[in-house]
Structure 1
Amino acid sequence: MARIPAIKRRKLSPPTSDGEDSSPSTLDNAPEPNAFFTQAARWNLEQDYETRPRKGNKKEKESTRLPIKTSDGLIQQNPAEEADVVEVEGSDLDWSEAAESDQELEEEVVKQPAIPIRQQILEAKEELARIALMLNEDPEENAGAFKALAQIGQSKNTTIKKLALATQLAVYKDVIPGYRIRPLSEQDMETKVSKEVRKLRAYEQALVGGYQSYIRELAKLATSGKASAADGGISLGSVAISCACALLVAVPHFNFRGELLKILAGKLSGRKIDDDFVKCRETIETLFRDDEDGTPSLDAVSLLTKMMKGRGWRVDESVLNTFLHLRLLTEFSWKASINHIDKPERGQAPLAKKPKENRPNLSKKEKKIWKERKVVEKEMIQADATVSHEERDRMQSETLKLVFVTYFRILKTRSAHLMGAVLEGLARYAHLINQDFFGDLLEALKDLIGHAETGDDVEDEEAEDEETTRNLTREALLCIITAFALLEGQDAAKAQASLSLDLSFFITHLYRTLYPLALNPDIELSAKSLHLPDPNNPSAPKLTSTNNKINIQTTTVLLLRSLASVLTPQLAVRAVPPLRIAAFSKQLLTSSLHMPEKSCMAVVGLMGKVTKVHEKKIASLWNTEERRGDGTFDPLSAEVEGSNPFAATVWEGELLRKHFCPGVREGVKVMEKNVIGLR
């Protein structure tokens, strides 16, 4: 026989009372639970409970019958017993009571008061202050507090995160030692040490681990977005960058300096110049000025060079100008090129080894002890952060080579917006450039001037914006200034014997540009001056604060610097030929008639210095009876020597003597006094 399933009994509805209708059809057709609760509230539950049979609380009744064997050979419990056992289902009252209890629990959860944000911030402040005080009082005993600070910094509240970052910054600035902590090797771990040394090692490893986690958090937050209104106007990225800058200035000798530099380099690689950009740039400049070791500067220059090269030199010129704050400009005394350093021969004498005959005779054991002492002394020197002069010179020489490589690459690629910064930098580093690199730079400068003469103003195809319009006239003037600065930086006695010091190419180009510059309406405006665009020209560039062409010096200043290098050089003043001085003097006085007031005053003042230095060479220009040349004067000659200046006279002085500007009239009197005093 097949197994007979258990008989299911129908759930009985509560009995009806007088005047009430509780039929099953009414309950089954209830459309929603609310109607059921409304109807259940009218039930007489006490009467129902009284009439219900008492069954006790027995959950399971013991079986007193033996199992039977079916026709299929299966052993089963006696079905008669199962039929007697009735499963008691929960009544509607139990369900309603359970539903009410669930509703009460939900109300309790909703009514549970949440901690206000202000209270959370106050509690976080107190906890951060307590942990920071513990670390300041005895950091070795509370090495685990570094992790506690980091855990508070993982809060979802932005204000608490900022407080945690600032607290960690203050703590690490106070507890970081004045030496670099090196990682422990396997040999160091196996060596038996005292309890104090073991305790110190554990603290140092905890400090380095916490510091590394903190820097990683700064690097992650530094790339976050802008601040929102809920952040109080300052984003987490700005706070992280500020912390990184403060650490780099305070503890540049400690571990993970490269990671801090990467945070700053990442910000400097962007095109947007905001407060964070300026802060990072000023931090790099401070690091260069205060670096007595040379190693942090080398790391920073190497990282900035790689960043600029990776960006295709599309960076702001202020990033390149940070190289002008390096201490090697005033401390380094050797000359260098891209890949070579000219070391003085006398500097090698102290490094010579002692002869073997002067060394004491040591046994093998004594030699071993002596070598171990040397190793310990070397480690102590590194721990004390004391750097010898030889090590510092080596670091600065490597830094100088990287600077020259960067300048020369930009010069070759002709990056428009960085050309002024490169030429100014080369002029500042002229005294550190050796003769081999000097010739290569002159050739590169000649190429730039030739590019300016042809007027080929082709922009880089990869440029994404039009903010770097090239000013070839200013670039040519900067090339002339740089060329003469490089010459003045060389040793004249050695340079004349090994180099062909012919700068006639630059002099001729300057002579040709005097008339066009005199007619330039923007001669007294710098590249960063505010120009109002022509309203009638639809193609005129829009006025932007980021219009950055060359540098902040006006064209007049650059012209005067170039003329001073040609006419009154610091070296070999008597070597300037009279024909060159006379040609430039005649051209300058003619050009001054067309210049604005300030430029005219500056040119007349320069002529006063020229007449004082070279008074005998150009006196005939003011006296027709002392002419030394025949023929006619050619003011439009392309060559200085072909203009024949001694065939002319300085008639412009009569007009300048009646100039409306008092400064120009006084300058003409000084100039003529220097010449007339020779008679």
Structure 2
Amino acid sequence: MAAERVSKRRRLSPPDGGKGTVPGFAQWDIEQDYEQRSRKGKKDKGEKLLVRTAEGWKENQRLKEAEQNAANEDADSFLASGGEDDDSGVADVEPKTAQKSQLPPKELIRQAKEDLARIASHVSEDPEENIAQLGQLAQLAQSDNLTVKKLALGTQLAVYKDIIPGYRIRPQSKEDMQAKVSKEVRKLRDYEQTLLSGYKEYVQMLSKLAGDSQMGGIAIACATALLTSVPHFNCRNDLISLVVRKLSTRSLSADARKCAEALEQLFHDDEEGHASLEAVGQLTRMMKGKNFQINESVLNTFLHLRLLSEFTHKASTNHIDKDDAQDAQPRKKLTKKDREHRTKRERKVMKERKQVAKELQEADAVVSYEERDKNQAETLKLVFVAYFRILKARVQHLMGAVLEGLAKYSHLINQDFFGDVLEVLKDLISEAEASLQPDDEDDDGDEVDIDAAAERNVTRESLLCIITAFALLQGQHDVAKSANTLHLDLNFFITHLYRTLLPLALNPDIELSAKSAHLLDPNGLATPTAKDTKVNVATTTVLLLRSLHSVLLPPTATKSVPPVRIAAFVKQLMSASLHLPQKSTIAVLGLLREVTKTHAGKIAGLWNTEERRGDGVFDATGAAVESSNPFAATVWEGELLRLHFDPRVREAVLGVQQNVIIKAEGR
């Protein structure tokens, strides 16, 4: 028995002291754990300790205050970052946010930065495990401190841009929640739904703060960043609505200009067309609701749509004409001899492969060309509806943007719609001319006409109408084929352009754009309009050259330009060059150099008195181009321009004359 007791003691107390043979609980530091354990008896004794006073025995107030101060000192961190156990769950924020009012603002901001950095790093490193910490970011965004609130919104923006997947998340229905799925699928669904709910709350907060004077700037910056970086994700419609609401005023602020730039980038980067269709739909509804009292920069965003380079069909406000070239050719029906023989099993396998390929295409989010064309067709109809409503309502401050847009999308307008468009353009030019006439019946008519002309800028409007009219004709690829059925009379626009050449030459603001008068505010500082897009900001000289190039150098049917028209415009432009500023004179002579290079044989007689073809006198102020008798005159203005003080003008004149001499010698 003694030997057995000795052996038993040796097993319990091994001489080597190794940990491998000792049970786990023997390795615990039981004494240390017992020492750090709270003493309930001491707590009860402290609570029941009484002090004798004149009124009797009462509780010890000093001991009670000391315990409260000790508890307050333990909560020394904003949101109590805690240890490792707090990383995977949502912290109990409510009791600890009560301490932030006791901290100085600098300390509060410093601790908020630390907490935001910690939470953002945890969520970005492992989103599936730490997705619940998005709630802490949302709680920080509710802070009363504006700096902390802005930091929280910016942090949420960075986190969501980092963890948002490349697909839309479908909200779960009741059937999906009750369905039996594997553990991995359930975990993924919980992660996606938590992410989606947090993102929705964040977007709703941005929408609420967008109208705030202090937080509006940061809210709009976050919303535009989300719209341009993750336009495929959920809540896109809410973000577009936020941006469109900011653009519904006549004068745009700095935040509104950010929204306009965000829409331009969205239109430029959109490949499928879904986001563009939603944005254009909301913009057109907003314009109609505001009676088109908006800034023209909002309308100019339409010019950044990808319709100009991708869409090929013709459209109007109510239908789309698609190319029937492929449909016109009947499909060749295969006979039994031409068909490849397949067994029933092979046909079944091929059908399954087609189904799998279709599912893979949808999973890879490959852009469907048919769906993209459908979205772009609907977008184009909405754009045309907006343009023609503005033309019908005669919204004067938007005429330049509308005409520029029609000129850009002229190759997409249905030919059946040409007649109505040209009639509207003629009416605009007629109204512009009528607005320049003084009203003798109204005493205040002169003042009203001056203000209306200043706001409307009828000269630029007329030139834009002419450019749009010729762009409608030149933008069609099938005009030459349908010349017998399509009759477009553009003589009205040609005559109007001819009559405005001399008055434009005497215009002192011909080298100023529509935005030049607004480049300085009343304080003398440059405004943001100086760096706007190049839409409707071209100088009057540039618009004039575009119009003349369309009339004298059309891209198609060059030989059809009558010699009388070319000679009349050349003579008129040479006379106008004597009065134009230096840069405009060089530009006009450059255009005449191209004209003489192409049509020198038709107008060579203007430079040689011995080859005069007409009798009578040249009428420079005639009402019609053909009746001005240009071949009865000579281009004597070239001799004066050869003595111009600018050597570039002298060189340009010599270039024009050299083309005529070379053409004459070639004959």
TM-score if structure 1 supplies the norm length? 0.74
Contact 1:604/1:667, CA 8 A, preserved across alignment: yes
Q: Which residue of 1 aligns with 2:4?
A: none
Q: What's 2:617 paired with?
A: 632
Q: Check if 1:527 corresponds to 2:506.
A: no
Instruction: Indicate which of 536, 543, 550 corresponds to 1:558.
Output: 543
- Structure 1 residues 173, 116: CA separation in 2 closer, same or farther (over 3 Å shift)? same
Could you tell me how far 1:362 is from its partner in structure 2? 9.3
C-alpha displacement at 1:432, in angstroms? 1.7
The correspondence for 1:672, drawn from 653, 657, 666, is: 657
1:182 is aligned to 2:181: no
**Correspondence for 1:195:** 183
Residue deviations 1:545-585 (CA, integer Å, cap 9, x gap): 58999932111111111111111111111100011111111
Indicate how the Cα distance of structure 1 residues 456 and 600 shifts in structure 2: closer, same or farther if over 3 A, else same.
closer
1:403 aligned to 380, 383, 386, which one?
Answer: 383
Does the CA-based 8 Å contact 1:468-1:547 persist in structure 2?
no
Asked if 1 retains the 8 angstrom alpha-carbon contact of 2:501 and 2:576, the reply is: yes
**C-alpha displacement of 1:381:** 4.9
Cα distance in structure 2, aligned partners of 1:250 and 1:317: 26
User: 1:445 — aligned with what?
Assistant: 425
Output the CA distance in 2 between the equivalents of 1:175 and 1:348: 46
How far off its partner does 1:638 sit? 0.5
Select the residue among 228, 237, 240 that pairs with 2:216: 237
Distance (whole Å) between structure 1 residues aligned to residue 615 and residue 371 of structure 2: 65
- Name the CA shift for 1:477/1:268 in 2 (closer, same or farther; >3 Å): same
Seen in structure 2, the aligned counterparts of structure 1 residues 466 and 617 have a Cα distance that, compared at 3 Å, is closer
Q: How far does residue 402 in structure 1 lie from its aligned partner after superposition?
A: 1.4
Deviation at 1:272, TM superposition (A): 4.3
Query: 1:141 Cα shift?
Result: 2.6
C-alpha distance 565-349 of structure 1, shift in aligned 2 (>3 A): closer
Q: What secondary structure does 1:143 align onto?
A: helix
Residue identity matched to 1:449: I
Tell me the equivalent position of 2:77.
none
**Do the aligned partners of 1:417 and 1:468 also contact (CA within 8 Å) in 2?**
no
In structure 1, C-alpha distance between the alignment counterparts of 2:202 and 2:361, rounded to whole Å: 28
Unaligned runs of 5+ in 2: 1-52, 74-101, 440-444, 446-450
Q: For residue 527 of structure 1, what is the amino acid of its counterpart? A: A
1:390 maps to a residue whose letter is E
Distance 1:243 1:543, change over 3 A: closer
Residue 383 of structure 1: CA displacement?
Answer: 4.8
Supply the distance in 2 between the matched residues of 1:279 and 1:386 (Cα, whole angstroms): 31
Please give the residue correspondences for 1:470-481 in structure 2 after superposition, counting only pairs within 5 Å.
Answer: 470-481=456-467
The answer on 1:145 being equivalent to 2:130 is no
Structure 1 gaps, min length 5:
1-91, 228-235, 460-464, 534-539
Alignment partner, residue 45 of structure 1: none
For 1:428 and 1:385, how far apart are their aligned partners in 2?
31
Shift in Å, 1:415: 1.9
Q: How much does 1:123 deviate? A: 2.5
Q: How far did 1:430 drift?
A: 1.7
How far the C-alpha of 1:612 sits from its partner, in A, is 1.6
1:208 offset after TM fit, Å?
0.8
Given that residues 436 and 453 in structure 2 are in contact (C-alpha distance below 8 angstroms), is that contact kept between their aligned partners in structure 1? no
Match of 1:341 in 2: 320
1:288 lines up with 2:264 in the alignment: no
**Cα offset, 1:673, TM superposition:** 2.1
- 1:491-525 superposed Cα distances (whole Å, 9 cap, x missing partner): 23234132112210100000111111111121122
Amino acid at match of 2:579: H
TM-score (ref. length: structure 2):
0.76
Partner residue, 2:396? 416
Q: Distance in 1 between matches of 2:633 and 2:268?
A: 54
Measured in 2, the distance between the counterparts of 1:598 and 1:377 equals 61
Deviations along 1:25-45, one digit per CA (max 9) or x if unpaired, are xxxxxxxxxxxxxxxxxxxxx
Q: CA shift at 1:190, angstroms?
A: 3.3
Aligned counterparts of 2:296 and 2:410: Cα–Cα separation in 1:
20
Which stretch of structure 1 is more off in the superposition, 215-224 or 415-424? 415-424
Give the direction of change, closer, same or farther, for the CA distance of 1:305–1:254 in structure 2 (3 Å limit).
same
On the 8 A contact 1:132/1:167 being kept in 2, the answer is yes
Q: Does 1:255 align with 2:231?
A: no
* Residues 355, 615 of structure 1: alpha-carbon distance in 2 compared, 3 angstrom cutoff: closer
How much has 1:378 moved relative to structure 2? 6.7
1:645 corresponds in structure 2 to 630
Q: Choose between structure 1 and 2: higher helix proportion.
A: 2
C-alpha deviation, 1:598, in angstroms: 2.1
What is the one-letter code of the residue matched to 1:445? L
- Structure 2 counterpart of 1:11: none
Give matches, 1:596-611, under 5 Å: 596-611=581-596
Q: In the alignment, which residue of structure 2 is the partner of 1:322?
A: 301
1:32-61 superposed Cα distances (whole Å, 9 cap, x missing partner): xxxxxxxxxxxxxxxxxxxxxxxxxxxxxx
**Alpha-carbon separation, structure 1, partners of 2:150 and 2:327:** 53
Deviates more, 1:140-149 or 1:608-617: 140-149
CA distance in 2, matches of 1:472, 1:572: 31
Q: Aligned letter for 2:377? A: S
CA RMSD of superposed structures (Å) = 3.9
Secondary structure of the equivalent of 1:412? helix
Deviates more, 1:661-670 or 1:199-208: 661-670
Q: Is the 8 A contact 1:294 1:395 kept in 2?
A: yes
Contact 1:445/1:483 (<8 A) preserved: yes
- Report the alpha carbon displacement of residue 209 of structure 1 after superposing the two structures with TM: 0.7
Cα distance change of structure 1 residues 135 and 351 upon mapping to structure 2, 3 Å threshold: farther
| Matched residue, 1:216 | 204
Q: Distance in 2 between matches of 1:199 and 1:350?
A: 54
1:462 is aligned to none
Q: Mark the CA change 1:323 to 1:255 in structure 2 (over 3 Å): closer, same or farther.
A: same
Superposed, which structure 2 residues align to 1:342-491 within 5 Å?
A: 342-346=321-325, 381-455=361-435, 469-490=455-476, 491=478
Q: Deviations over 1:106-127 (max 9, x none)?
A: xx99xx9922222222322232
SS at match of 1:141: helix
Judging changes above 3 Å, is the alpha-carbon distance between structure 1 residues 247 and 355 closer, same or farther for their aligned structure 2 residues? farther
